[in-house]
């Protein structure tokens, strides 16, 4: 299963293999060239929020090491790079003045990729909201959706002529539920009403962003990246099966529903409707604008059981035990079949366009050995098993066009700080030395079998 040539033979010749990163997680330079703070700068520097009070001030110093890192991507043998753009670099206050130096950086990034034959998949929002927008309520304010639309216009006017694809948002589940209900991510809110407002205004911002992208750069394929949950009932009981359906509505339907059906799940509205913000006329039509592609980020399944004692706290479920004790260093269950179950379920429920796996990977914290190598065989096995599932999906007719490994390099992992390492490339945070891991060398051998990866999204 781990022989890269044998695995490669199961994918079509124009399949895209890429690597992924995100701005706040790698760039550093948080106070340079006109960038202003994001909500993650503030959150990271609050005691008790992030492991070890780690922050993104330096991260992987990608801002200063851009050319060397783009050379590294080229050396990885991939044909595409998925990255995100930092809103606080482009419009530092969220509204108002545009920062040309911020746009200059992404000009260099995009041109550097093109010069190296690497296709560019940009994400407009990967959680680093300009801190100044919190004065109006951040994502709980409708005005933020329109601020995002203007930001999308500015970015596309500068970069749209050279991008191969663009996504509006990365994982709105995290920037909505994890950030406004569970309090684990910035801004650290724990309030259902706030979360529901953030949900609707994030969905609205997505739709307004699609409008802006199509207006400025109509030839650039536009999509949305969702970390849909593979929800599995803890047992075959009717109660647990019903709990799994409620969990699906809450964790997946809250985003897939309005985007692909122009409606919120009825069960969600029945349970929480009195706390929802006003859905104004035309909102759902804006949110549901047709997409060229969508991205799925998958790491681990969600197993749930019914918990009637929590009725009124939709979806009133509790975690069910994993199927095995096989877990990554971050504690996530390894279950490759969950990826197949999820994709098949989503295509049954929704009229979806073609897709990409935009993130998939595993946290293992092996360091550099005395021989200068990083032996991370468990990560290699994780990739091989999940890519085998991807090949199965393609064989079954799913329009899966590409795969982006998370992540190119070890980086700032949000509330986990620098504690967890997902990279194909090891980063020594003291020296910023990059060392390609065993998994990275294996992925390079696989990706190098697809030097063109020239399928155009939405074609």
What amino acid positions are annotated as catalytic residues?
171, 359
Cβ atoms of residues 414 and 407 within 8 Å: no
Residue 68 makes CB contacts below 8 A (sequence gap 6+) with none
Task: Give the relative orientation of helices 100-115 and 66-75 as an angle to the nearest 10 degrees.
Answer: 30
CA distances from 157 to 153, 160, 220 (A): 6, 6, 12
Residue with tokens 């990826």: 339
User: What is the rounded CA–CA span in Å between residue 347 and residue 353?
Assistant: 9
Pairing of strands 425-427, 434-436: antiparallel
Question: Residue 268 has which token pair?
Answer: 């969600």
Phi, psi of 221 (to 5 degrees): -65, 130
CA angle 4, 224, 16 (to 5 degrees): 25
CA distance 24 to 56: 6
Measured torsion, CA atoms of residues 52, 57, 59, 63, in degrees rounded to the nearest 10: 180
Neighbours of 363 (CB within 10 A): 22
Q: How far apart are the first and last CA of the chain?
A: 31
Q: How many CA atoms lie within 13 A of 292 on its CB side?
A: 21
Token pair recorded at residue 396: 């079954």
């Amino acid at each position: 299963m781990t022989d890269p040539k044998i695995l490669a033979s199961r994918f079509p010749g124009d399949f895209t293999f890429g690597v992924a990163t995100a701005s706040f997680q790698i760039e550093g330079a948080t106070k340079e060239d006109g960038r202003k703070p994001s909500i993650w700068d503030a959150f990271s520097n609050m005691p008790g929020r992030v492991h070890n009070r780690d922050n993104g001030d330096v991260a992987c110093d990608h801002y200063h090491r851009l050319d060397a890192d783009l050379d590294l991507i080229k050396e990885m043998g991939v044909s595409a790079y998925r990255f995100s753009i930092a809103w606080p670099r482009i419009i530092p206050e969220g509204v108002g003045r545009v920062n040309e130096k911020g746009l200059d950086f992404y000009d260099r990034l995009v041109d550097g990729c093109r010069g190296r034959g690497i296709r560019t998949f940009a994400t407009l929002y990967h959680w680093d909201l300009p801190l100044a927008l919190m004065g109006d309520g951040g994502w709980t304010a409708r005005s933020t959706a329109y601020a995002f639309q203007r930001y999308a216009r500015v970015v596309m006017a500068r970069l749209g002529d050279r991008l191969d694809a663009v996504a509006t948002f990365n994982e709105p589940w995290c920037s909505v539920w994890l950030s406004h209900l569970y309090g684990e991510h910035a801004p650290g809110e724990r309030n259902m009403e706030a979360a529901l407002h953030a949900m609707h205004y994030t969905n609205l911002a997505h739709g307004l962003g699609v409008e802006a992208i199509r207006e400025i750069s109509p030839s650039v394929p536009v999509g949305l990246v969702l970390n849909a949950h593979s929800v599995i009932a803890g047992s075959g009981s009717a109660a647990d099966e019903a709990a799994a359906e409620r969990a699906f509505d809450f964790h997946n339907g809250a985003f897939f529903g309005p985007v692909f059906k122009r409606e919120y799940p009825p069960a969600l509205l029945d349970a929480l409707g009195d706390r929802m913000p006003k859905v104004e006329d035309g909102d759902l039509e804006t949110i549901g604008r047709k997409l060229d592609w969508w991205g799925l980020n998958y790491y681990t399944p969600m197993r749930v059981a019914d918990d009637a004692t929590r009725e009124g706290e939709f979806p009133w479920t509790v975690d069910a035990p994993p199927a095995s004790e096989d877990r990554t260093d971050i504690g996530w269950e390894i279950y490759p079949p969950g990826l197949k179950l999820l994709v098949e379920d989503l295509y049954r429920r929704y009229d979806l366009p073609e897709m990409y796996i935009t993130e998939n990977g595993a946290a293992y914290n092996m360091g550099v050995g005395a021989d200068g190598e990083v032996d991370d065989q468990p990560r290699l096995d994780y990739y091989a098993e999940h890519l085998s599932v991807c090949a199965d999906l393609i064989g079954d007719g799913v329009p899966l066009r590409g795969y982006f490994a998370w992540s190119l390099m070890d980086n700032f992992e949000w509330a986990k700080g620098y504690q967890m390492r997902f990279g194909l490339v090891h980063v020594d945070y003291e020296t910023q030395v990059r060392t390609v891991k065993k998994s990275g060398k294996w992925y390079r051998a696989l990706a190098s079998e697809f030097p063109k990866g020239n399928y155009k999204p939405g074609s």
